[in-house]
Amino acid sequence: MICAPRTEFINLPRSLNAGVSTKTTYNVDIANFDTYHVMIFSFPLLAVFLWSVNAIVTKMTAGAIDPAAISFYRWLLALLIMTPFVLPGVLRHRRTVCRQGWRLLILGLLGMVLYQSLAYYAAQSVTALFIGILNSLIPLLTVLFSIVLLRAAPTVGVVIGTLLSFSGLIWLVSEGHPLALANHGLGGGEVMMIAASASYALYGVLTKRWAIPLSNWQSLYIQIAFGVALLLPGFLLAPNIALNAHTIPMVMFAGIAASLVAPYLWIQGVMRLGANTASIFMNLAPVFTALIAVLFLHEDLHSYHVIGGGITLCGVILAQRLRIPLLRRARASQKMPS
């Protein structure tokens, strides 16, 4: 939930895009691949793995702790850990923080409150497999929001990818029976997970559009602080906020590994590999999530998971990689003689 290199916006479920210097980006020579290159690739790979495990942890929280409680505990823990390192810099830039306060508030609402809280509530009724696949839609949703808010040029890949991903999502949600979806509609968990993915995609696009003049960690710190404040009322009204030996490790993982360690690893990877190369690793997230869910949560992997998730992921990859401008093709067809 931070930002990462290059002026080109990459689309990920973790919006780590803008504001990181790319002066240290390296060209990867496959012929001379060695331990150093393995270390470079390990940064984004480990980040994606931690985020995939977090999807599993999200599912494990269902029935163990109230969603409002773990949402609050998670970000409060991250805020407390960051405070001694980041607060002095925030205080030095307090005028900028005041000027950008409303934007940081909106980002905190989208990224820290809506995205993860909705995921925790959705986990009450959907599987970790479904959470992982829906998270893979965030890059595509980011592209679509970018066309509207950043005026990014639509591409052939976006059109084809959107249609493919939408088809895969229908197949997945309907459990392989698309016509039945018209009868029973979407469940509450599915709707919340789609809304969570959309909120995080919008978070990433607004982060890029506003380009808040603070360092990544300072911006994140203020967003988390707003998030904690916004989550407090729900936490106080939650029926079960007690922590125990079962829930404390969940809070620790979500608040440290997923919220702080994974973003740090991602930024290091993007600085060294570049935004485009690092973004490829995000496509492994649903694969990691599926493997962990089947092996450790003993969730059943059905054919509709493979087909629907595979089609959805293909659509996301096409939207990211097939960059033929759509308007250029349209104009060219108009100039052709009749």
In a domain, 11, yes or no: no
Q: What confidence score (pLDDT) does residue 182 get?
A: 64
Give the SS3 label for residue 155.
strand
pLDDT 10s digits, 144-183 = 888 888 888 888 888 888 888 888 888 877 777 777 666 6
Spatial distance between the Cα atoms of 104 and 123, rounded to a whole number of angstroms: 27
Only one residue has tokens 């392989």, namely 176
Listed residue (224, 241, 189) closest to 113, CA to CA: 224
Listed residue (143, 147, 151) closest to 201, CA to CA: 143
Report, as an integer, the average pLDDT of 36-57: 87
Q: Which residue has the higher pLDDT, 227 or 323?
A: 227
In a domain, 181, yes or no: no
C-alpha 112: how far from its chain's center? 11
Spatial distance between the Cα atoms of 107 and 206, rounded to a whole number of angstroms: 8
Q: Which residue has the higher pLDDT, 117 or 32?
A: 117
In a domain, 223, yes or no: yes
Q: What confidence score (pLDDT) does residue 230 get?
A: 97
In a domain, 323, yes or no: no
pLDDT band at residue 2 under the 50/70/90 scheme: very low
- Count CB atoms within 10 A of the CB of residue 94: 9
Tokens linked to 125: 């009724």
Spatial distance between the Cα atoms of 190 and 16, rounded to a whole number of angstroms: 25
Q: pTM for the complete prediction?
A: 0.80
CB 262 within 8 A of CB 99: no
Q: Which residue has the higher pLDDT, 282 or 217?
A: 217
Domain count, the chain: 1
pLDDT band at residue 331 under the 50/70/90 scheme: low
Answer whether residue 302 shows pLDDT above 70.
yes
Answer whether residue 338 shows pLDDT above 80.
no
In a domain, 68, yes or no: yes
In a domain, 275, yes or no: yes
Interacting residues of 309 by C-beta distance below 8 A, sequence separation 6+:
129, 133, 136, 168, 172, 286, 290
What are the CA-CA distances from residue 40 to residues 44, 102, 104, 257 (Å)? Answer: 8, 37, 31, 19
Question: What percent of the chain lies above the pLDDT cut of 90?
Answer: 39
**Rounded-to-5 percentages of helix, strand, coil across the chain:** 75, 0, 25
Q: What confidence score (pLDDT) does residue 328 get?
A: 61
In a domain, 326, yes or no: no
Give the SS3 label for residue 325.
strand
Average confidence score pLDDT of the chain: 82
Spatial distance between the Cα atoms of 257 and 2, rounded to a whole number of angstroms: 14
Answer whether residue 188 shows pLDDT above 80.
yes
CB 216 within 8 A of CB 19: yes
CA quadruple 253, 35, 4, 129: dihedral sign: negative
Listed residue (124, 32, 119) closest to 74, CA to CA: 119
pLDDT 10s digits, 65-99 = 999 999 999 999 999 999 999 999 999 999 999 99
C-alpha 135: how far from its chain's center? 6
CA quadruple 297, 75, 268, 152: dihedral sign: positive
In a domain, 318, yes or no: no
Range of the domain at 70: 41-148+187-286
